[in-house]
Amino acid sequence: MAQAFDANAQQALLASRAEQALQLARQLGADSAEVGASVDQGVGVSVRLGEVETVELSRDQGIAVTVYVGQRKGSASSTDAGAESIRATVEKALSIARYTGEDPAAGLADAELMARELPDLKVHYPWALSIEEATAIALACERAGRDYPGITKSDGASLSTGEGVRVYANSHGFLGTQKGSRHSLSCMLIAEDDKGMQRDYDYTSARDSQALRAPSAVGEEAARRTLRRLGAQRPKTGSFPVLFDPTLASGLVGHLMGALAGGALYREASFLCDRLGTPLFPEWFSLEERPMEVGATASSPLMVKAYRLAIIALLSMAR
């Protein structure tokens, strides 16, 4: 088994490392700086055709430093969070900043815009799961799908569980931390008819393992989704209304966010180049952000402002 993960101890350690990096940045000549640090630990098990395929134990950590010298910006990161590595990372970021061009938009947000309160969003639910228990759950999920009438093969089932800590700090005196967990179970199956094979999957994911759907329910839904693909026909050429499956929603929004990214626009690699002021959506379309929803998968008080700025940019372009 992986070593025990003490989230509270890791939280204090990362905060100390972030403050150390900020102090070094100031000492070495940065006008302002920001630091992000994280550590994650998890377990993953995958099975196929009733047999264990892989067991993974992971532990990752990292620290990223961004410094500003005037309006010159430099960033560097490292997966080694020791004192010597932190100093080397800060020095590298400063070296990069001194060779970059000035950017009038570079710099931290104003100090008065920093969050004053970071609510507990209830997103940390450790799951003390042994490898044997994780394997049994994955096997039960796959078995429920394979036993469903019409399913001929399986691409397997996987269970993963993990928790981690995030810290963000900057030279305005802001320091925010968050503990979080994420657990998931998935199953992919194969069905076959005289036209060939089709595959599909189902999954369940939650911060709290108690909110996961039952393994049998995931396996059976994966079977139903796979069987629905059989007998598909190519439609005639024409213009038709299109309904997108809910599982595609995040991907569609992700494409729009990617097209709005400054780097994509700068490289002219976006389909939204020169589209400022052009309507993108019908009037009834809207996007709502809820990063402060208690217990939700994507909730994070450390990301509220970033989400808000992205949504505002997207909607203002739509107008």
- What is d(CA 304, CA 109) in angstroms, rounded to the nearest whole number? 14
| pLDDT of amino acid 2 | 52
Q: Which two tokens stand for residue 165?
A: 């800590």
Instruction: Return the domain boundaries, the chain.
Output: 7-228, 248-318
| pLDDT of amino acid 74 | 96
User: Taking the domain 7-228, which CATH number applies?
Assistant: 3.30.2290.10
Return averaged pLDDT per consecutive 10 residues of the chain, 319 residues in all. Answer: 79 95 96 95 97 95 95 94 92 95 88 84 93 97 97 96 95 93 97 91 96 98 96 88 82 86 87 86 82 85 49 41
| pLDDT of amino acid 309 | 41
| pLDDT of amino acid 306 | 43
| pLDDT of amino acid 297 | 86
Residue with tokens 């179970």: 185
Q: How many residues are listed for the chain in this entry?
A: 319
HSE at residue 82, side-chain half, CA atoms within 13 A, is 3
Q: Residue by residue, what is the 3-state secondary structure of the chain?
A: CCCCCCHHHHHHHHHHHHHHHHHHHHHCCCCEEEEEEEEEEEEEEEEECCEEEEEEEEEEEEEEEEEEECCEEEEEEECCCCHHHHHHHHHHHHHHHHHCCCCCCCCCCCHHHCCCCCCCCCCCCCCCCCHHHHHHHHHHHHHHHHCCCCEEEEEEEEEEEEEEEEEEEECCCCEEEEEEEEEEEEEEEEEEECCEEEEEEEEEEECCHHHCCCHHHHHHHHHHHHHHCCCCCCCCCCCCCCCCCHHHHHHHHHHHHHHHCHHHHHCCCCCCCCCCCCCCCCCCCCCCCCCCCCCCCCCCHHHHHHHHHHHHHHHHHHC
| pLDDT of amino acid 3 | 62
| pLDDT of amino acid 317 | 42
| pLDDT of amino acid 250 | 77
